[in-house]
Amino acid sequence: MSRKPSSSLFAALALGASIGLLLPALIVGGLFIGLREAQVAEQALQRDLDAKLDVLASSLPELLWNLDAVAAREVVSAIVKSPEVVRVSVSDASQGLPFIENHMPERRRGKTLTGERDILRGATRIGHIQIEIDDHLSTTAVMRQRWLYGATVGGQLLASLALVLWLLNSRLFRPLRELGDFANDLGEGRFSAKLAHTRQDEIGLLGGHLEHMRDALQQQFEAQRHLIDRLRGMAETVPGVVYQLRLAVNGEFSFAYVSEAVREYFLLGSAELSRSAAPWFERIHPDDRALVRDSLLASARNLSPWQQEFRTPLADGGERWLYGNAIAQREADGSVLWHGFLTDISRQRRDALELERYRHHLEELVEARTAALAEATQAAQAASLAKSAFLANMSHEIRTPMNAIIGLTYLAQSDTIEPEQQLRLQKVANAAEHLLSVINNVLDFPKIEAGKLSLERREFTVDQVLDNIANMTTQAAAAKRLRVETDIAPELRGRPLIGDPQRISEVLLNFAGNAVKFTERGFVRLQVRLEPARQEGTGLGLRFEVIDSGIGIAPEAQSRLFRDFEQADSSTTRRYGGTGLGLAICRRLAELMGGQVGVESTLGGGSCFWFALDVEAPAQPPVAPVPAPRLHSARERLADLVQRQPCRILLAEDNPVNQEVAVALIGSAGLVVDVAADGQQAVDMVKTGHYALVLMDVQMPVMDGLDATRAIRALPEGAQLPILAMTANAFDEERQRCLDAGMDDHVAKPVVAEQLFATLHDWLSGARKTLKGRPATP
């Protein structure tokens, strides 16, 4: 038990008493002296000025009447001898000029007080007196009194406070510290500690209680130690290994107790296993290791008894069979503790296997070889079907809740103006987009492996590709204060090219996403250069580069980057996340397009991921039409269209959360949305309502979206009605099924808000029109 540093109660009390007693006394006394003595000094200065004016007013009339300047100057000089007098002016009323003027500006060191008086002879005004005096001396006297008061009062209070604190320290705090040291000794198991006390007050009684507690604890400790020794002796004599295995709330296994027999079975010591059970799992046969761990986790979930047979390898190359049996219980901290034992059942297993081998050897040999061929054929066929069904189901089951997460996060961001909430919602949106990227990689990888991924050939420009990548990464980069730059070779700007811009964007977006993820400061630059074509007659050679100022990659790790399910360093998975599939998919996409990918990097000096491929270039670049001015976002364009042309659309969706998300998203653009909970309701509502468009989910109860689309196309109202599929199954096969059933377009879940708004704008504005018509049969 370690003692933690703590603040001193004595110091806190001394400081508090000093501040609580000394400062109020000094402040109150200072204010009192400052206010009262200042007023007294000012009044005394005014009285002195009045007295001087009286002296001059009584002494000068005869002298001024007789024009006796010498005598008058002597009278004025007597007044000027006072150190506070700054100026004395005596003027003659008949001439209006100063008769006597004494001015000493060097005495002006503070504020001045001016007094005036007429000189009268009888009732006749014969002159005028003006005196200015300085208050510096009086102010200095007041300050001297303040300091004298502060020194006197402060010294008395400090002396009193020192006496009080000395008494407190000797009578209270020092004994408390001794008691604390004694209690700490008890906590660390030093029961031989003594407490010297002879006082009979409360602290003395407390010390006596602590000594009594020491004696009781020592007795209990000795009793428990003897009991543990007896139990340990019993455990060491039991055949097999007696143990207590703990599963912590963080998922880590460790042995709370294990008998020394574990060394015979696993060549491990009990002290080593008390820290972690990982070495124990390593000594289990590799084929049984996962089975043991999974069975333990199942027992922990259900708190059911654990019973398992497994193997451990022997030093001579053989195997030892062990049987584990334990009872699980939940601890107060949430961990699970198993109490059980391990026994050697190798002989029983060998005997049973030997008997079984003699009985069924020949029969099993023939049946096994015959069945193996049939099972291998069936397994291959079933695996292929199960894989396709599993991936399709996983696409739907994962993307459906992701649609709610991304949609509701988008709506919450639109409604929230608080920066802190915006930041938190942005983190949710970033995490959802990252999860969606991982899901897409996992679902796309088998398709690429099987060679079923098709490429498009359509016109594009590198300006559009890089601008889209920059726009999609700007928000994540801005959250880390990174600059996103684009650098396009002049000869490529605006030049039409033929290729698959979607797959090119996927590769570059993965590179750019990794650049933002692994860069803490600086920049991410997207650039493209023209280079010689790798094959004769293929057109133009392009080299895309994504350059960052991030953490860089060690040379020995670069060769592993583009392998399946690998990363440069396994620690990046824990720190930054990822499946290790992204770059592998980039490599496969590049090879599918006849290109190459690579990396140039130094550890700590940033990275450059490049993608080189050949594209076709039209001989005569078509003149691009001048686009009409557009509003800033797809939602604004859609809202402007709805304001000019109000319309109503129908949403066929059975999931309540997806209904809420879609209605809120579409409603934010001003559209009126009616909701049908299944396909049959959608058909009935089309019969009775006037809708401009239908958003149709595929998997719904009563009637699915495909049958509902066929039924709507059979109606007069539905022949030319745009029907857009909204499904969480993003596979091309599902998209084709929707189009074959009579739908016009496909919007994948989770829905990207701007993509949905843009699609709705195109269909509602008439930019795209349905060509389905009424099918021949419903």
CA distance 197 to 199: 6
Per-residue confidence band for 288, with pLDDT thresholds at 50, 70 and 90:
very high
8-state DSSP, 616: B
Nearest to 278 by CA among 265, 291, 263, 268: 268
| DSSP β-bridge partners for residue 612 | 543, 596
CA distance 589 to 448: 8
**Token reading at 608:** 């450059």
SS3 40: helix
CA distance 338 to 328: 4
Instruction: Name the range with the highest mean pLDDT among 220-234, 248-262, 474-488, 698-712.
Output: 698-712
The mean pLDDT of the chain is 79
Check residue 742 and give its pLDDT.
Answer: 93
Q: Mean pLDDT, to the nearest integer, of 498-507?
A: 88
| DSSP β-bridge partners for residue 449 | none
Helical H runs in 480-579?
A: 501-517, 555-558, 570-576
Per-residue confidence band for 627, with pLDDT thresholds at 50, 70 and 90:
very low
The phi, psi pair for 418, rounded to 5°, reads -75, 130
Rounded percentage of the chain residues whose pLDDT exceeds 90: 25
Q: Mean pLDDT, to the nearest integer, of 107-122?
A: 82
Residue 492, pLDDT above cutoff 60: yes
Q: Mean pLDDT, to the nearest integer, of 275-282?
A: 89
Q: Which amino acid is at 252?
A: E
Which strands, in side-by-side order, build the sheet including 523-531? 483-488, 523-531, 540-548, 607-615, 596-601
8-state DSSP, 86: E
**If residue 302 lies in a helix (H) or strand (E), which one and from where to where?**
helix 286-302
CA distance 471 to 481: 15
Residue 623, pLDDT above cutoff 60: no
> CA 42 → CA 39, 47, 113, 116, 141, distances in Å?
5, 9, 9, 17, 12
Check residue 578 and give its pLDDT.
Answer: 47
Nearest to 75 by CA among 62, 61, 89, 59: 59
Per-residue confidence band for 68, with pLDDT thresholds at 50, 70 and 90:
confident
CA distance 469 to 513: 9
Check residue 207 and give its pLDDT.
Answer: 66
**If residue 310 lies in a helix (H) or strand (E), which one and from where to where?**
strand 306-313
The phi, psi pair for 130, rounded to 5°, reads -135, 125
Confirm if 698 and 729 have CB atoms less than 8 A apart: yes
SS3 71: helix
- pTM for the complete prediction? 0.40
CA distance 248 to 768: 59
The phi, psi pair for 477, rounded to 5°, reads -70, -40
Could you read off the pLDDT of 145-204 as tens digits, one per residue? 777 777 777 777 777 777 777 777 766 667 777 777 777 777 776 766 777 666 666 666
SS3 296: helix
Which residues are CB-contacts of 497 (< 8 A; sequence separation ≥ 6)? 459, 460, 461, 462, 540, 542, 615, 616, 617
* 3-state per-residue secondary structure call for 360-395: HHHHHHHHHHHHHHHHHHHHHHHHHHHHHHHHHHHH
Instruction: Match 């001439």 to its residue by tokens.
Output: 95
CA distance 210 to 13: 26
* 3-state per-residue secondary structure call for 397-453: HHHHHHHHHHHHHHHHHHHCCCHHHHHHHHHHHHHHHHHHHHHHHHHHHHHHHCCCC
Instruction: Match 């406070």 to its residue by tokens.
Output: 161
**How many other C-beta atoms lie within 10 A of the C-beta of residue 643?**
10
Is 489 exposed, middle or buried (CB count within 10 Å of its CB: 0-12, 13-18, 19+)? middle
CA distance 724 to 84: 100
CA distance 131 to 112: 10
Residue 659, pLDDT above cutoff 70: yes
